Chain A
Amino acid sequence: RKEVEQDPGPFNVPEGATVAFNCTYSNSASQSFFWYRQDCRKEPKLLMSVYSSGNEDGRFTAQLNRASQYISLLIRDSKLSDSATYLCVVPQQAGTALIFGKGTTLSVSS
């Protein structure tokens, strides 16, 4: 299994839809996970941190499944402004840094 792997995307959804992305990781000892959002030609910005079973912030919910080693990001009531690339980030297995997944592109249309 790769250190971090994401749904390939792109996801094209209408406004108001609910969409979910999955991310699998290989380091079973990992205790912290992150979802970043990246807009075109901009830097990644932290969307959500996950340190236990999950986290919720408004329309965004992240869930952690340790047994299957994946984290998911659920976006409810999608807005046009949610269109971006969503990056899953996990601790490096052999090292002290973070590793980024390839990202999942979301396009929300009216």
Chain B
Amino acid sequence: DAMVIQNPRYQVTQFGKPVTLSCSQTLNHNVMYWYQQKSSQAPKLLFHYYDKDFNNEADTPDNFQSRRPNTSFCFLDIRSPGLGDAAMYLCATSKATSGGAWADTQYFGPGTRLTVL
């Protein structure tokens, strides 16, 4: 059974048209992450939630926002997608993270592949 679910699997949007990607999990994990992965590159962390606490990476553009209405769901909003935002967006979860030294295993969803026309 899928533990981290992402919808849709493929999303096509127009330049500048807002888009929302969703992620849900059945693991009851405290932490949810959003990564952006472009072709032949490593996943790049955009932000993550530790419970309700939002942690934004310093180099994440303001164009990217996130919401976590409850433990199970997390959304990635791209307010004005540009051609450079075309990528695979990966959602991941972990039970906990204590920062700096210890980290828990992350479980990934299948990703949403975003195309910007």
Q: Given the complex, which residues of B lie within 8 Å of A32, measured CB to CB?
A: 101-104
Known: A43-B108, A44-B108, A45-B108. A29 touches B101 (CB 8 A): yes
Q: For residues 51 through 92 of chain A, which have their beta carbon under 8 Å from a beta carbon of chain B?
A: 87, 89-92
B57 contacts across to A, CB distance below 8 A = 95
SS class, residues of chain B in contact with chain A: strand
Is B100 at the interface (CB under 8 A from chain A)? Answer: yes
Contacts of A92 in B (CB 8 A): 45, 99-100
- The size class of the interface chain B forms with chain A is 20 to 34
Cβ-neighbour of A93 out of B44, B100, B107 (below 8 A): B100
Is residue A13 within 8 Å, beta carbon to beta carbon, of the partner chain? no
Q: How many A-B residue pairs have CB under 8 A?
A: 79
Interface residues on A, range: 20 to 34
Interface set, chain B 87-117, CB cutoff 8 A to A: 88, 90, 94, 97-111, 113
**25 contacting pairs across A/B (C-beta < 8 A):** A31-B102, A34-B105, A42-B110, A43-B108, A43-B110, A44-B90, A44-B108, A45-B108, A46-B105, A46-B106, A49-B105, A89-B106, A91-B97, A91-B102, A91-B103, A92-B100, A95-B57, A96-B55, A96-B97, A96-B99, A96-B100, A97-B45, A97-B97, A100-B43, A100-B44
Interface residues of A (CB under 8 A from B): 27, 29-32, 34, 41-46, 49, 87, 89-103
